[in-house]
Structure 1
Amino acid sequence: MRIQDKKSNLSSKGNRSSITIHACAESGDLIGFRGLLEKNPSLLNERSILMLQTPLHIAAGLNRVDMVKYLLNWKGPGKVELEAKNVNGETPLHAAAKNGCNEMVKMLLDYGANVEARTNNLISPLRLAIGYALRSGDNLTVNTLKEYNADRLAKEDVSMFLYAVDYISERKISLNYPPASLQNEKLVKFRCQSSAEKIYDANEELVELPCQSDAEQINDIEQSNYSTMDYSWTDDQNFKEPKNYDNGLGRKMNEFDHELSKIVGLHQLKLQLRRWAKGMLLDEKRREMGINLGPRKTPHMAFLGNPGTGKTTVARILGKLLKSVGVISSDNVTEVQRTDLVGEYIGQTGPKTRGKIEEAKGGILFIDEAYRLAIPGKWADYGVEALEEIMSVLEDGNLVVVFAGYTEPMKRVFSSNAGFCRRVTHFFEFEDFTCKDLAEMVMIKMTKQDEKSQLNGFKLHPLCTHDAVVAVIEKNSTEKLRGKMNGGLVDHMLNNAREHLDSRLTFDSKGDELLIIMLSDLEAGLRLLSYRMTLKEKEQRK
C-alpha cells in the first residue's frame, strides 16, 4: 500500500548525495537518513511533493522503529511535528494506525500524539485501525488505541468492530474512506449507524438514517458488493476538476524554470527550489479543487551559503513567483544588513527595524549576513532586539522574510529565538561555484554585456576558450579564495584584467588592440586579486 508520494524518490540510486530524506525513510536507510538530517536540519519536517508527507509520516507508516525513535528524540534545531498533516489530513499516527504498525502507534501516543486527530474526512486513527483489522484480522492496533481512550465519542465503533470483524474479515469488506465523490452509499450508512458523530455525504448534506441492527447493517454492506479500496491517494482518482483547473500554473512554473536556468551552476539548489515551487503551485491547484489544506503559511526562508553564490538573485526570482500566486502583492526585494536595522543607542533599534519592515511590506525583506544579529556572547546586543522585532511580524502575512548568511554562523540565529524553526520552515543551501562555473560566468559576461558595464565593448581573444579560462582559474586562485568570493571573483578578475591590458598598451595601439583581453590579462588579473586579498587578511589579523 502506498503511503508516500512516489515522486519523492526520483534521484539516482547510485549517488547518495542525491537521495532524498523521504527515500531514506521508505527504504529504512537509517545511516543515510541521519546523515541528511545532520547536514541539513531543515529536512526534519520536509514535505514530499504531492502527498505532503513528512519523514515521520513515512517512517511511522512503514514501522521504522529506530528511525521514528531518532526523530522523536531529535537533538538538533527545530522539533519534529507530531501533528503534521498530509494532503488527506492524516497525521503520522493515522499513517501508523492504517497500516497496523502497533509499536509505532504506542510510541507516538507515548510522545503525546493526539489520539483523536481527524483527517479531512473526519476520520480518526481508530477508524483506520479498524479498517486494517477487517482486512488482516490483526486487532492489536485497535486494542492499543482503546487502551488510550481513543475516539471516546464513538464507542459504538469499537463494539461494531468486535461484532463485525469475525463475520466479514474473510470477505475483505473494506471500511476504507474514499474521496467524497466516490463514497459508497452503503458505507456512509454503516459509518452513520456506528458513529455518534454527524456524518455528511458527498454533497455536504447531513445523513439521517433510521436505526438498523448490527446484522442488518452487515448484510446491507455485503449486498452492495463493494470492493476493497486502497487508502492511498493516487493520481488517477476521479476528481472533478474546476473549469479553470490549471489557472496558469504550468506557465508560472515554466517562467520560474526559465529564470532559474539563467543562473550558472547551483544544480542541487535548483532541484530543491523546483521541488518547493512545484509543491506550492500544486497546493494552489488543490485549493481550487476544494481541498482544505488549512491556512496558507507564509514561506519565510533561510538562505545558507558563502557570499557571491546568488542568494539575492534567487530572492528576486522567488519574489516574482510568490507575487504571481498571491502570497505577496509585490515582487520588490528590500535588502538590509545589521547597520540598517540596529541603532547605536537604547531605543533606536526598534523604530529603525520597524521602519525597514514597513518599507518591505507587500514584498520580500532580505536580511543579508543575518547571523550578525545574534553575536555570540552578547545577549544584550541590540541585534537581538532587531531579530525579535522581525520575528514578531512573521505571521502577519503579505511579507516574506529571507534570512541569509554563512551556514555555520546562521545556526546561532536558529537557536537565538525559540520560534525560529517553527516560523521559518524553508532552508536552502547555496553551494560554492566550481572553476567551470566561474569560467562560464566569464564567457557570459564578455559576450552578453551591459551597456553600463566597465567592460562594454571589450572582448576575449579567441584563445580564451572555456577550457582555457578554467585552467587559468584553477592555477591562479586557491579554493579558499574561490569559496570566499564565488561570483564576485569574476567581476574583480575581469576589471583587473582590463587594468593589465591598459598597462601593456601604448598610445600607438589602435583598433582591436585596445579592446581584446588576452589569457595573460586574465592570469594577471587573478594574481592581482589573490595578492590584494592576502594583504587584506593580514591587515585584519593585526
Structure 2
Amino acid sequence: MKIKIWNGQEYAGNPGRGPVRTNKPVYSSQPLYIAARPSDDQAARRNAKEIINELNALIGLKGVKKLIEEIYAFVEIQKCRQIERLAVEPLSLHMIFKGNPGTGKTTVARILGKLFKEVGVLPKGHLVEVERADMVGEFIGHTAQKTREQIKKALGGILFIDEAYSLARGGEKDFGKEAIDALVKGMEDHRDNLILILAGYQDEMDWFVESNPGLRSRFPVHLSFPDYSSLELLDIADLMLKKKQYELSSGAREELRFVIEKEQKCHENSGNARLVRNLIERAMRRQAVRLLKPGNKMTRDDLMLLKREDLIGEANDI
C-alpha cells in the first residue's frame, strides 16, 4: 500500500534544490511519503500526540496500544526518511480486530481514523461502520452494488465491518462471497484512500481468514481485544459515571462488583463494557423512580448518588 501525506499542499522531492511545492499528487513506482510544511507538521504531531493520549486513557488493551504506537512511530519515521531522501518501506494498514462485544473494537477504530488523518495516511479519517445486511443484497448484482456504495461512503477514511465472518458463512452460492470479492476489488482500486477493518469474535475471525487465503496477505495487522477483568470494568464504570456526573455509594460499588463477577462466572461472554453501560443506565432509571417518590426532598448530592438499592437485582433486569 502506498501511503501519501495529505497535509495541506503536497511536496515532491527535487534533487539539488530541496522540496518543491506542487498542487498535484505525486506518484511513484515506490511507496511515497510526501513531507508536510514544518508548521503544519508540528501541529499535526501535537494533535497526533493528543489522540495517542486518548487511546492510552482507555482502560486495559495493553497489547492493542503497543501495536498502534508502533504503527504511528513507523509512519512518522518513514516521513523523516522521505525528507532525507532515504528509501521508505510500504505499510499495509488493513486490519482484523478479534474479540468479544464490548471490548473496545469500534472505539479504537474511531481513534485510529483520527490518528491516521493527523499523520497524513488518510485525508478524512472518518469511520463508516457496517455489517452484513448493509452489503449483501437479495439478487445477483445487488450485493456488489451495495458494497460499492459503502466503500464510496468510506473513501478517505475507514470502513469497519462488524461480524465480518458472516459474509462467508453461506458457502459458495451465498451472496456474501460476492461482497467479499467487491471488497477485495475496492481495496485494490482505492489502495491510497481507504483502510478496511474486519471485526468479530476471535474464533470466527480465525476461521474466516483461513477460509479465504487471499484475505490473510491483505490484512497483515491483527489486533486481539481481550475481555476485561472485573477491576477493569469497575474502572470503566467510574469513567462512565464521571462523564454523566453520577457517583456510587460504597454499598453501590460493592453491589456493582458483585453483579459483574457473577455475570463473568455465569456467561463466557458477559458483554464487557456493554454490560457495565447497561447496568449503570438501569441504575440511573431506578434512582429516578426512587427520588420521585412522594415526600422526597432532593438535593444536588441526591441527584448525583447511586445507592446499593439502585443496583440490587440488576443482572436479572438488563
Instruction: State yes or no: 1:526 paired with 2:312.
Output: no
Contact 1:496 1:526 in 2 (8 A): no
For residues 247-396 of structure 1, the aligned pairs below 5 Å read 247-248=41-42, 251=46, 253-294=48-89, 296-375=90-169, 378-395=171-188, 396=190
C-alpha distance in structure 1 between counterparts of 2:45 and 2:202, whole Å: 33
SS at match of 1:263: coil
1:419 to 210, 214, 218: 214
Describe the shift of the 1:251–1:458 C-alpha distance in structure 2 as closer, same or farther (beyond 3 A): closer
Q: What's the CA shift for 1:514?
A: 5.7
- Write the mapping of 1:199-238 to structure 2, written as runs, cut at 5 A: none
- Alignment deviations for residues 338-364 of structure 1 (CA, whole Å, 9 cap, x no partner): 000000222210111111111111111
CA contact (8 A) 2:97 2:105 kept: yes
For residues 75 and 266 of structure 2, the distance between their equivalents in structure 1, rounded to whole angstroms, comes to 37
Q: Which amino acid is the alignment partner of residue 425 of structure 1?
A: P
Residue 503 of structure 1 and its aligned partner are, at CA, apart by: 5.3
Task: Indicate conservation of the 8 Å contact 1:303/1:403, yes or no.
Answer: yes
Matches within 5 A, 1:55-74: none
Task: Tell me which amino acid in the other structure corresponds to 1:326.
Answer: G
1:486 to 263, 272, 276: 272
In structure 2, the gaps of 5 or more residues are 1-15, 17-36
Counterpart residue number, 2:306: 517
Moved over 6 A (4+): none
Cα distance between partner residues in 2 of 1:420 and 1:518: 50
Distance 1:380 1:277, change over 3 A: same
Q: CA deviation at 1:257?
A: 2.1
Contact 1:433 1:483 (8 Å CA) reproduced: no
Distance, in Å, in 2 between the alignment partners of 1:480 and 1:333 is: 34
* TM-score, scaled to structure 2: 0.78
- Tell me by how many angstroms 1:302 deviates: 0.6
Flag the 1:344–1:338 CA change in 2: closer, same or farther, 3 A.
Answer: same
Q: Is the 8 A contact 2:51 2:115 kept in 1?
A: yes
Q: Secondary structure of 1:478's partner?
A: helix
Give the % identical residues: 33
Check 1:253–1:328 CA distance in 2 against 1; reply closer, same or farther (3 A cut).
closer
Which among 405, 423, 432 is matched to residue 200 of structure 2? 405
The alignment yields a C-alpha RMSD, in angstroms, of 2.7
State yes or no: 1:507 paired with 2:301: no
TM-score when normalising by structure 1? 0.47
Which structure 2 residues correspond to residues 68-87 of structure 1 after superposition, within 5 A?
none
Structure whose alpha-carbon radius of gyration is higher: 1
Q: Are residues 1:445 and 2:234 paired?
A: no
Distance 2:212 2:298 in 1: 61
Deviations 1:327-384 (A, max 9, x none): 2110110010000000022221011111111111111101011011110x62211111
CA distance in 1, matches of 2:256, 2:247: 17
Report the Cα distance in structure 1 between the residues aligned to 2:164 and 2:131, rounded to whole angstroms.
7
**SS state at 2:312 partner:** helix
3-state SS of paired residue (1:483): coil
Report the CA distance between 1:273 and its aligned residue.
Answer: 1.8
Secondary structure of 2:78's counterpart equals helix
Instruction: Verify the 8 A CA contact 2:95 2:221 in the aligned structure 1.
Output: yes
Q: Which runs of 5+ in 1 are unaligned?
A: 1-202, 204-242, 450-456, 530-542
Q: Report SS of the residue matched to 1:420.
A: helix
| Aligned partner of residue 72 in structure 2, secondary structure | helix
Residues 472-483 of structure 1 aligned to structure 2 (within 5 Å) = 472-479=258-265, 481=267, 483=269
How far the C-alpha of 1:489 sits from its partner, in A, is 0.5
CA separation of 1:478 and 1:325: change in aligned 2, threshold 3 A: closer
| Residues 475/362 of structure 1: CA separation in 2 closer, same or farther (3 Å cut) | closer
1:460 aligned onto 2:254: no
Assess, with a 3 A threshold, how the Cα gap between structure 1 residues 510 and 343 changes in structure 2: closer, same or farther: same
Alpha-carbon offset, residue 324 of structure 1 = 1.7
Summarize the Cα distance change of 1:441–1:483 in structure 2 as closer, same or farther, 3 Å threshold: same
Q: 1:435–1:470: 8 Å Cα contact kept in structure 2? A: no
Closer, same or farther in 2 for the Cα pair 1:475/1:394, shift >3 Å?
closer
